[in-house]
Amino acid sequence: MNETVSTLFAVAIGGAFGAMLRYRFRFITKNSKISMGSLPSNIIASFVLGLITALFSDAFFAMQGWQSWFQPFLTVGFAGSLSTFSTLALEMHENTEKRNWTTTFGYAAFTFGAGLAAFGIGFFIGTSVPV
């Protein structure tokens, strides 16, 4: 199959799974007074992207033919769709309306910090795996 077409399907299927899982994960924070439904998904997606980025920079994976679709399936498709910025921004807006600026800033800062840390941890694990 043409490489662009196989990548397109990989991104589409990864995106479909990412979106469904994101919808599922909003239950984790449903009892919170703060709107933060996208937080778990954003953290997990950052972890996954860090892990995959490290794993696929490795020569072992680079040699495999399936990398051409498996890598975009997980990164652009799955991790890209599992994480979201639009819902995060809408939640920031809701937090300002319902609560205050401090909550909004704290939520944004926490999401950013946790995302950065999750990416770093994923990347570290990815580089430590002996292959």
- Cα 131 from Cα 117, distance rounded (Å): 24
Interface map 35-54 toward other proteins (x if CB under 8 A): ---x---x--xx-xxx--x-
Neighbours of 33 (CB within 10 A): 9
- Cα 51 from Cα 71, distance rounded (Å): 11
- Cα 33 from Cα 40, distance rounded (Å): 15
Q: Which two tokens stand for residue 40?
A: 């778990």
Angle, helices 39-56 vs 3-25, to 10°: value is 150
Q: Is 81 in the site for other proteins (CB under 8 A)?
A: yes
Q: How far is the CB of 67 from other proteins (least distance, A)?
A: 16
- Cα 128 from Cα 124, distance rounded (Å): 6
- Residue (66 or 112) nearer to other proteins, CB: 112
Q: Is 72 in the site for other proteins (CB under 8 A)?
A: yes
Residue in 6, 19, 70, 99 binding other proteins, rule: CB under 8 A = 19
- Residue (8 or 34) nearer to other proteins, CB: 8
Residues that bind other proteins (CB under 8 A): 7-8, 11-20, 22-23, 38, 42, 45-46, 48-50, 53, 72, 76-77, 79-90, 92-93, 96, 104, 108, 111-112, 115-116, 118-120, 123
